[in-house]
Amino acid sequence: MFRRRFLLFSCALAVSGASAVQAQSDFPNRSIRMVVGFPPGGISDVLARAIASEAGAVLGQSIVVENRPGAGTTIASDNVARAAPDGYTLLFQDVTTHAINASLYKKLPYDTEKDFTPVALVSSSPLMLVVNADSPVRTLAELIERAKAKPDLYSYGSSGNGTIIHLASEMMNRAAGVKAVHIPYKGSAALVQAVMSGEIEYAFSSMPPAVSQVSSGRLRALAVSTPERVPVLPEVPTIAQAGVPAAEVVLYNGVMGPAGMPEDVVQKLNQAFAKAVNSDKLKQTYQSLGASTLAVTPQAFGEQLRQDIGRYAKVVGEVGAQVD
């Protein structure tokens, strides 16, 4: 179902030559601030800086990336929700920021749907299921078989309680009938290190920390969570090809602004980001990280967010994840 939705939204591509509403103002006439709710160096930060550079060149003004990590990205989101809706403050968000946090947190300082304006969906990337390179497990089917043979003795890790990595793992475990112990870590780097050291048997990971270790032979990749294989590791099957389609997850990034942004400003920004992601330079950068570029209309982006909020609310409820 998610794959069909995602492909449907991707058909609504906002290419740079589209006859969208043209901005009627001189926007932008100064630099734009783009807030990222993650620390420097993570995949969202790297993707944000790459597209900020390209889109800024299209607009003729710099887009300055500002990292405001903490509280599961809610600090960054709240900062943008309270900003003036003039297009000069944007949020580079991911699936956690809106789709998951809406149900993960008992109370948020903003309304996830009403306090933001979707601007552009710009990238998608998979999670990668990995085990230690010395593990006897070579396929997802073997992992499931071994884990079932030792219920509650196998352990898996995540980058934190309620993160997309945690939820993807639980979706896979429940679909496969596996009972395993969840061990949360502080971020993907620590998580990958735990798999390599043998502290845990398996984990989903974001692409950048996993790809380099798989390529170096320290980790073994069992599957990627997206509907399609990734060019950077084409031999790794999708989670559906490996036998658990219910665990299909797309980690996407988009750009949002505060509620009430003028339509002409939204359209001008959307076209600039669309032109940026269609550049060969950005496509190569994203591909090296295991990500794919997207150029999607604000309307399609908003609809996907609404549907994903409902989808992940169900998963969060089933898992029992909650943050006060």
What's the pLDDT score for residue 1? 45
Pick the closest to residue 293 from 307, 268, 275 (CA basis): 275
What's the pLDDT score for residue 324? 63
State the amino acid at position 113 in one-letter form: E
For residue 212, how many other CB atoms are within 10 A of its CB? 12
Q: Copy the structure tokens of residue 323.
A: 């943050």
Helix (H, G, I), strand (E, B) or coil at 168: helix
What's the pLDDT score for residue 22? 42
C-alpha 248/C-alpha 204 separation (Å) is 12
Helix (H, G, I), strand (E, B) or coil at 256: strand
Round to the nearest angstrom and report the end-to-end CA distance of the chain: 31
Are the C-beta atoms of 109 and 172 separated by less than 8 Å? no
Compute and round to an integer the Cα radius of gyration of the chain: 19
Count Cβ atoms within 10 A of the Cβ of residue 107 and give its class: 0-12 exposed, 13-18 middle, 19 or more buried: exposed
What's the pLDDT score for residue 131? 97
- Residue ranges and CATH numbers for the domains of the chain are 2-125+250-319 (3.40.190.150), 127-247 (3.40.190.10)
What's the pLDDT score for residue 109? 94
Are the C-beta atoms of 295 and 129 separated by less than 8 Å? no
Are the C-beta atoms of 137 and 131 separated by less than 8 Å? yes
3-state secondary structure 124-156: EECEEEEEECCCCCCCHHHHHHHHHHCCCCCEE
What's the pLDDT score for residue 61? 97
C-alpha 276/C-alpha 35 separation (Å) is 18
What's the pLDDT score for residue 142? 97
In tens digits, the chain (324 residues) has pLDDT values of 444 444 444 444 444 333 333 444 689 999 999 999 988 877 888 899 999 999 999 999 999 999 998 888 899 999 999 999 999 999 999 988 889 999 999 899 999 999 999 999 999 889 999 999 999 999 999 999 999 998 888 999 998 888 889 999 999 999 999 999 999 988 788 899 999 999 999 999 988 888 889 999 999 999 999 999 998 899 999 999 999 999 999 888 999 999 999 999 999 999 999 999 999 999 998 888 888 898 999 999 999 999 999 988 988 888 877 776
What's the pLDDT score for residue 8? 45
- For the beta sheet containing 155-158, the strands, ordered from the edge strand earlier in sequence to the opposite edge, are 181-184, 155-158, 202-206, 127-132, 219-224
Are the C-beta atoms of 84 and 90 separated by less than 8 Å? no
